[in-house]
């Protein structure tokens, strides 16, 4: 083996001095150094957040790979984070005749709100939800729903089909590593983004997903996004993103007032006790 490496070394040095890889070998052009952000050769879908696109390899949500979104609980605004991308993929009925490509959602933890999605610009007719027997919304009486193994198989087939614009999947806890590897292999055939929603504790476990983000709430219509894993250097500080609002200005003002009141009341109680 040593002699083979020694014989190959002059060839590698010669190719390096000759310049960039030959166009006929595009797979050689995707090499990246650890201190640089990868310039992926695959397509991406812009996230709709300029600060986030700057930090994502390729400048958007990558196609043909898995993207993991880790969150402490559903409802932080994770769907609103993806809405700009879903608008580009699924389109809006008022802006396209065909309505764009379909989006499949596997085991969403709550019923989708069609009017809110339409308000944000998503064509709700392009959304298809698939529920599993062991998902968050499952009950003992719904035997017809898919168990976890079958749900993972359905996700895999959707990624391989070539007929889906985007895949969003809320995965069961204690997921086996080989299941993630199978999904990552299937995602290589999927010309679109594939998002996996998982619990925060999953950050302590290895994952085949090349892109992993930790989401946390940061106030009304605001989301903290920390990049845990990407093809590039680590990002020291989380990003603070302003989400598309879904509440009216009156309700947002009311929520702000309630938040301020909740923060002031403990201080007033402390002052009364100290006094």
191 and 204 in a common domain: yes
Residue, of 9 and 19, whose pLDDT is higher: 19
Q: Do residues 127 and 185 share a domain? A: yes
pLDDT band with cut points at 50, 70 and 90 for residue 149: confident
CA triplet 238, 230, 200: central angle to 5 degrees? 60
pLDDT, mean of residues 253-274:
48
- Here the tokens at position 48 are 């709709």
- 8 within a domain of the structure (yes/no): no
- The conformational region for residue 188 under phi > 0 = left, psi -120 to 50 = alpha, else beta, is alpha
Identify the pLDDT of residue 192.
95
- Name residue, tokens 């020694």: 6
- CA-based nearest residue to 90, from 186, 168, 161: 168
Q: What proportions of the chain, in percent to the nearest 5, are helix, strand and coil? A: 40, 20, 45
Counting the structural domains of the chain, the total is 2
| Average pLDDT for 196-214 | 93
pLDDT confidence band for 3 (50 / 70 / 90): very low
| 140 within a domain of the structure (yes/no) | yes
Look up residue 50 and give its two tokens: 């300029």
More confident residue, 245 or 159: 159
Is the alpha carbon torsion for 260, 249, 113, 106 positive or negative?
Answer: negative
Residue in the structure block whose two tokens are 């797979």: 27
Burial class (CB in 10 A: 0-12, 13-18, 19+), 134: middle
The phi and psi torsions of 252 (rounded to 5 degrees) equal -65, -40
User: Looking at the domain assignment, is residue 4 inside a domain?
Assistant: no
pLDDT surpasses 50 at 25:
no
Residue 113: pLDDT band (50, 70, 90) is: confident
Query: Which residues in 104-123 are b (16+ Cβ under 10 Å) and which e?
Result: bbbbbeeeeeeebbeebbbb
Task: State whether 273 and 217 are in the same domain.
Answer: no
- Are 81 and 199 in the same domain? yes
Residue 15 pLDDT more than 60? no
Q: Is the pLDDT of residue 66 over 80?
A: yes
Taking 90 as the threshold, does the pLDDT of residue 135 lie above it?
A: no
Rounded to 5 degrees, φ, ψ at 214 are -105, 120
**Identity of the highest mean pLDDT range in 99-103, 111-115, 164-168:** 164-168
- Mean pLDDT along residues 243-270: 56
In this predicted structure, the answer to whether residue 29 has a pLDDT above a threshold of 50 is no
Rounded distance, CA 196 to CA 207, Å? 11
- Domain hosting residue 275, numbered range: 246-275
pLDDT at position 189 over 70: yes
| Cα 258 from Cα 96, distance rounded (Å) | 41
Asked if residue 206 belongs to a domain, the reply is yes
Q: What is the CATH number of the domain that holds 189?
A: 3.40.50.300
274 in helix, strand or coil?
helix
Same domain (yes/no): 173, 202: yes
pLDDT for res 176:
84
- The whole-angstrom separation of Cα 96 and Cα 94 is 6
Q: Does the pLDDT at position 148 exceed 90?
A: no
Q: For all residues of the chain together, what is the average pLDDT?
A: 77
Q: Which of 75-79, 117-121, 185-189, 270-274 has the lowest mean pLDDT?
A: 270-274
Read off the pTM.
Answer: 0.73
Higher pLDDT, 241 or 9: 241
pLDDT at 12: 35
Distance CA 72, CA 199 (A): 6
Co-location of 151 and 171 in the same domain: yes
Which pLDDT score is estimated for 226?
A: 95
Residue that the structure tokens 């919304």 belong to: 137
What's the distance, Cα to Cα, between the start and end of the chain in Å? Answer: 80
- Please work out, in degrees rounded to the nearest 5, the angle formed at the alpha carbon of residue 154 by the alpha carbons of 92 and 157: 80
């Amino acid at each position: 083996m040593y002699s083979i490496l020694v014989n190959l070394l002059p060839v590698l040095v010669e190719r390096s001095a000759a310049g960039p890889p030959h166009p006929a070998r595009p797979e050689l052009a995707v090499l990246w150094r650890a201190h640089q952000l990868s310039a992926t050769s695959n397509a991406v879908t812009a996230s709709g957040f300029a600060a986030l696109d700057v930090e994502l390899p390729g400048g958007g949500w990558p196609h043909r790979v898995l993207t993991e979104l880790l969150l402490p609980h559903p409802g932080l605004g994770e769907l609103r984070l993806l809405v700009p991308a879903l608008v580009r993929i699924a389109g809006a009925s008022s802006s396209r005749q065909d309505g764009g490509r379909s989006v499949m959602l596997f085991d969403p933890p709550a019923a989708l709100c069609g009017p809110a999605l339409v308000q944000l610009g998503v064509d709700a007719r392009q959304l298809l939800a698939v529920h599993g027997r062991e998902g968050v919304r499952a009950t003992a009486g719904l035997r017809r729903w898919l168990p976890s193994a079958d749900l993972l198989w359905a996700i895999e087939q959707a990624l391989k089909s070539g007929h889906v614009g985007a895949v969003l999947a809320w995965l069961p806890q204690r997921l086996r590593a080989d299941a993630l590897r199978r999904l990552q292999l299937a995602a290589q055939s999927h010309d679109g983004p594939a998002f996996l929603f998982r619990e925060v504790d999953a950050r302590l476990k290895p994952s085949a997903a090349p892109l992993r983000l930790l989401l946390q709430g940061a106030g009304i219509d605001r989301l903290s996004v920390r990049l845990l894993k990407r093809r590039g250097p680590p990002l020291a500080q989380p990003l603070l993103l302003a989400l598309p609002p879904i509440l009216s200005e009156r309700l947002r003002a009311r929520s702000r007032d309630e938040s301020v009141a909740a923060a002031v009341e403990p201080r007033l109680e402390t002052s009364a006790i100290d006094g």
